[in-house]
Structure 1
């Protein structure tokens, strides 16, 4: 009898515990459901979080391209009423240019800037922009970029490799600088070991000029110049100044061999996730940043040269006729690969 009463009491206790536990679970369910119903990326108040865009480059903070990125960031914030925040990372903080291009293709980086030279590893035909002396002057350069050739590159070719072309920046006219001697004739190039971007065209160009082209990342250049691992390099005066290469390489010679654009890029994977109004803002702010950068570059170029002269840099003019003649060998080597018709279209642009 006592055993029956004991079993009944135990059964009643078990049922009571189960009912209490069930009530507790039901009380929690609405709160859990509410949490799961919140959209991804929203904050506790229910409003959308900012869209964060990280934008990387290898260049210094005071470079015109970096200043254009800050302009782009400001315009993106204005055009989206503060919904988008662009964070700028100069000085190779997010890796070298190839790293950033690959990151954008994978969707792990939202934005970055690349030379056409680096992009040629992903889209070989863009090497046409690197052919020495293909552009007659800056006016010709801009007409090609803003015309059908440049726009086809931005809006048709780049998306096929997972990138969105946002802007085409002026990167100046590239010339040779070194620590050994001024370059006045083609013969003065003989024996020089000069840093070049990682591009077969640049290497072949230096060979045609009688020098040796050595590929090297931007971040390694100053030390290599300082320790005479290389004799010099080639780039525009603004780059030469912003990287402080004048401290270790004082002869700047106007060979003016290449005028090539740099391109501001966005990951297509990231771009495709953006609302339509933000996509439109990206392209609008990009076009405005492009115009801002080009004016900034031209205004700064002459000023920079005067500052460099005051710092002891020796500038000298060069007879480029024999350089252009030597460059024909490079054109002949690459014309079939890049397309004779495309090269001719650039040359014929008026």
Structure 2
């Protein structure tokens, strides 16, 4: 055998071996709290995985860790911040523990509809907040998405007007903002952890609670509650977050794929959460016999009049008047663009 050809072949094989090594798939871990199943959040997560793997020709693979396999939302945020987890999908309440300005999204009756919210969470205010999250926490917020409008259920009476909720004991998240909202309606806010809500309702510790239809159905709350009013008092957010050092180490083309996938994931949840308002409400009524009332714009305005000012003041004391004013201005601009004039 010709020695030169032999050495050339060895060198070529080595080069090909090196190239093959560098072309190995990038393994990406994505943790969320939602269990596997036909839920908007999980469906959105699957879209992210499918898009990334398809667009990268399999060079990037996404491993999904649903149902709090890697810990609760706050634990996963910390893992993303520290770099042991590439991606997660916390709710705004959990994110507020790391970035307090997230509380601003909990202003009652901030958005009159999902399309208004979509404009704002994809607009300049949201982009500036994403940049500030990176600066303040080191976490890259890739996108905001719709976690659903929260509404009241109870076992005592239908809630049509604000006076109907007065005197009821309502479970809230362990959040001062939500406690202030419920108390401003004359009800008694009772903070209880998510894991204990169903038992508390079944035992009559509280009369009701507040959550989007998908959660009321999927969490079994409809089995122990009779009345549901879709008053949509707070628009909940999810944040698609990434470890910034991991993201910046990706090739530019890979970064684009991740960003695009996050946008696809956000829009998947936006649409499925909105569809879920009627899809899961119908299930609650047809399968469980819940009495559903969809609040009219005038009815919602009555709730807004009682709750927005005191809760907004409370939030301003925690995050500052400037960020509250900027968000309210962004909402007015979105409404003017959609409806021709800013709603009053």
Q: Which TM-score applies when normalising by structure 1? A: 0.80
The alignment status of 1:51 with 2:35, answered yes or no, reads no
**Separation of aligned partners in 2, 1:110 and 1:224:** 36
Contact 1:189 1:209 in 2 (8 A): yes
**Separation of aligned partners in 2, 1:282 and 1:217:** 33
Larger Rg: 1
Number of residue pairs the alignment of both structures matches? 311
CA-to-aligned-CA distance 1:276-303 (integer Å, 9 cap, x gap): 3322211011112222222233334322
Shift in alpha-carbon separation, 1:214–1:272, aligned structure 2, 3 A: farther
Which ranges of structure 2 fall in alignment gaps of 5 or more residues? 1-13, 337-344
Partner of 2:165: 189
Query: Counterpart of 2:133 in 1: which secondary structure?
Result: helix
Partner of 1:124: 100
Question: How far did residue 48 of structure 1 move?
Answer: 4.6
Contact 2:99 2:136 in 1 (8 A): no
CA-to-aligned-CA distance 1:227-286 (integer Å, 9 cap, x gap): 334332211112212222111223211221112321111122332333333222110111
**Separation of aligned partners in 1, 2:80 and 2:192:** 22
Question: How far did residue 159 of structure 1 move?
Answer: 4.7
The alignment status of 1:174 with 2:161, answered yes or no, reads no
Between 332-341 and 146-155, the greater mean CA deviation after superposition: 332-341
Question: How far did residue 73 of structure 1 move?
Answer: 0.3
Between 177-186 and 109-118, the greater mean CA deviation after superposition: 177-186
**Separation of aligned partners in 2, 1:273 and 1:129:** 31
**Separation of aligned partners in 2, 1:194 and 1:92:** 26
**Separation of aligned partners in 2, 1:216 and 1:347:** 31
Q: Which TM-score applies when normalising by structure 2? A: 0.81
Between 46-55 and 237-246, the greater mean CA deviation after superposition: 46-55
Contact 1:118 1:198 in 2 (8 A): no
Contact 1:251 1:315 in 2 (8 A): yes
| 1:101 paired residue among 72, 77, 96 | 77
RMSD of aligned Cα (Å): 2.6
The alignment status of 1:331 with 2:312, answered yes or no, reads yes
**Separation of aligned partners in 2, 1:178 and 1:91:** 27
Which ranges of structure 1 fall in alignment gaps of 5 or more residues? 1-36
CA-to-aligned-CA distance 1:191-225 (integer Å, 9 cap, x gap): 43333233221111111122233344433433333
